[in-house]
Amino acid sequence: MKSVLAVQPDLAATSVALFELAGWQATEPFDRVLARLRMTDVVRTSPAEPLPVRLRALAGGLDRILAAARDSLWGVTVVYLELPRLSNWYETLPHEGSGDISADELFLMYMASGALMAAAVTRGVEVRIADCPALPRGVRREVVARGLAALRHPLAPYSHADRHVLDAIWLGASCLTNSDQRPQPTV
C-alpha cells in the first residue's frame, strides 16, 4: 500500500488529505500518522449552480486528485469517507455555527458522498466508510492543528479559510490509528 486518501464530504467544500504509508507500522500513534501527511486539497462548488452540476464538479475534483496521485509517487489504494451519523433518521444533528442541520442539508451531504464514492470506485480505488471517534468538529480541528504545529509540519499552520482540510486530516489520522479501520501494512 502506497497511500490513503481521507475525504470529508461537503457539497460546498469537500476536503481531502493524502497520507503516505511507505514504511508504515500498524501501531503508529496519532502524531506519527500526522507526520505522514503529504498533500491536502479542497474541492469547492458554487451554491449558485444546479445540484447535478455541483455533484459532477465534486466527482471531477476527486477524480483529478486521484489521477494526480496515481501519476506521482503516491498511488492511492484506499479512500476513507466519513458519513454523518444519525441515531434516528428524523432527528437533527448539531451543526457548526447555525444550530442544526436540516433534512435537506443532510440529503445533500449524502448526495455529495455518493458522487465522491463513484469517482473513487471509477478509478479502481477501494472506498471504506469510516467511523471516527465522535468529537465536536472544533475539537477535532484543534487537535490536528496543534499536532501539525508541534511536528513543525510543512502544511501547518492552517488559516481559518483552510479549516475544512483539518476535517479530512482528522479523518485519515483517526482511521490509520484505529485497529478496526486501518489497512494492513505491506511488507
Give per-residue pLDDT as tens, 81-109: 887 665 433 344 444 444 456 778 788 88
Cα angle value 75/184/43 (rounded, 5°): 40
Q: For the chain, what are the domain ranges?
A: 3-157
Count CB neighbours of 23 within 10 A: 8
pTM of the model: 0.83
pLDDT digits (tens, 9 = 90+) for 33-60: 999 998 899 999 999 999 999 999 999 9
Could you please state the CATH topology (level 3) that the domain comprising 3-157 is classified under: Nucleotidyltransferase; domain 5 (3.30.420)
